[in-house]
Amino acid sequence: MSRPRFTWRYDHKVDAQGRVPMPAKWRPDVPSSLSLMAVMIRHASESEFVMVLPTEQFDRFSDPLCQGDFTDPLQLAERHDYVDRIIELELDSAGRICLPEEMRIAAGLTKDVLFVGCIDRFELWNPQAYAAARSSEKVLKKVHNPQKT
C-alpha cells in the first residue's frame, strides 16, 4: 500500500452527530485500511487545531514521549498532557471521521471545518482561526527571513 498524501485545502461541514467527511481525494478505497490519530495542538497564534496523523507518522511524533524514565514526575506530567489530547480515529463506511465533542469545541469545529493538507498528515481548523494563524505565520516568516517576501 502506498503512503497517503494529503495536499490542498477542503471545506466541509460537521453533521449533527459530529461527523465530517474526509476529502474524497484523500480517502482510501477501503476505509478501514487507514488508521489515524488525532492530536489537539495549540498554534503560536493561540488557536487550537487538530493534527491528524497516519499511525506511522504518529509513531514518529510520539516516540520522544515513550523514552526515558516512566516514573519521573515531570515526564509523567508531560505524557498525561499529551494523552489527554490524543484519540484514535476511524473512517466509517461513508468516509467520515467523528471527533469527540470536547475536541470539536476546543478547536472551534462546531459548524465548518477546514481540512489542510500537510503532505504526510493533515490538520482540521476552524476557517477563521486558520486565517488568523496564517497571518501570524506570515509575520513570523517576515521577521525571520526579511529578504523573502
CATH number of the domain to which 94 belongs: 3.40.1550.20
Number of domains in the chain: 1
Helix residue ranges per DSSP H, 2-145: 55-62, 73-83, 101-106, 127-144
Inter-CA distances, 124 with 41, 67, 106, 145, Å: 10, 28, 12, 27
Q: Does residue 126 sit within a domain?
A: yes
- The answer to whether 99 and 109 have CB atoms below 8 angstroms apart is yes
Q: What is the pLDDT along the chain (149 residues), one digit of tens a residue?
A: 567 899 999 999 999 999 999 999 999 888 888 899 999 999 888 899 999 999 989 998 888 878 878 788 988 888 888 888 899 998 999 999 999 999 999 999 999 999 999 999 999 999 999 999 999 998 888 888 877 65
The residue segments making up the domain with residue 100 are: 9-144
Q: Does residue 3 sit within a domain?
A: no
- Alpha-carbon gap, residue 116 to 126, rounded angstroms: 11
